Amino acid sequence: MNTPRIAFLGLGIMGGGMARRLLGAGFPVAVFNRNPARSAALAAAGAHPVSTPREAATGADVVICMVADDAASRAMWLGADGALAGARKGAVLVDSSTLTITWVKELAAAAQSRGCDFLDAPVTGSKLAAAGGELNFLVGGDAAALEKARPVLAPMSRSIVHLGPTGSGALIKLVNNFVCGVHVVAIAEALDWVERSGLDRAQALEFLLAGASGSPIAKTVAARMAAPDYTPHFFLSLMTKDLGYAVQERAAAGGKLATAQAALEVFRRAIAAGHGDKDMAAVVEPLRSA
């Protein structure tokens, strides 16, 4: 494809940065967001705001969706005003949202019925990685379709990994976020324990984070918890959703994620306490106030 035309659906913390990367790389980009103010903000950078996902997808070579969950993804793709209704035959449809495998496979089948290629391509990395083109794409779907889309994914990415058939990207993303969510809760509980113990918090954290327990996500969220600074980089509500999806999908496959279930309960308490719209590091606050 010579300078592919792009449709980008969803301009939140992640999607806004991703769309800006595509505009900076010189692609023509039509954008849709449920809150039109976010689309209008990108118009100054050269985006073409439209009023429906269908309008965005009409004439596009690659359609990318980046939204919160299955329900938001369905709303973008399906229905009379959905992107599938406007997608041309041969277009590559990419959903980079963190979704259930069940919905991903349903969406792939719907795309195929329209004569389109489909890739589930969720990402790792948060707000700064999206803005800086440092995301890691975890891709499921046909390898030839990925090669068609690769020039479009490249400006947004540090790496693009093809993991296998449809659903493979969605699966590894849920596995990844389940592990991350458990780490976040473990650090929250450890920090709360340290703070109640009389230990020097800075010294204790320095020791914990320099050793085996100092995973990259532990270091990131520990700093935010200690500050405290809950400016959203990854919404607490979205990690709660991801843990729920992971538990659900593992159960559907006949297994159980005991640690994910335990972490999910802690995140749900944080949402009940009013922290859902904050960074996921805010999961520590209900522990501190208990």
Angstrom distance (rounded) from CA 31 to CA 246: 30
As a 3-state breakdown, the chain gives helix, strand, coil percent values, each rounded to 5, of 55, 15, 30
List 65's β-bridge partners, or say none. Answer: 9, 95
- Which residue in 253, 278, 70, 284 sits closest to 175, CA to CA? 253
Catalytic-labelled residue, pool 89, 127, 173, 241: 173
Centroid of chain to Cα 48: 23
**Token pair belonging to 110:** 């719907």
How many Å apart are CA 131 and CA 141, to the nearest integer? Answer: 26
For 19, the token pair is 């769309």
Active site (annotated) includes residue 127: no
Cα separations in angstroms, 259 against 25, 98, 239: 42, 20, 14
Instruction: List active site positions.
Output: 173
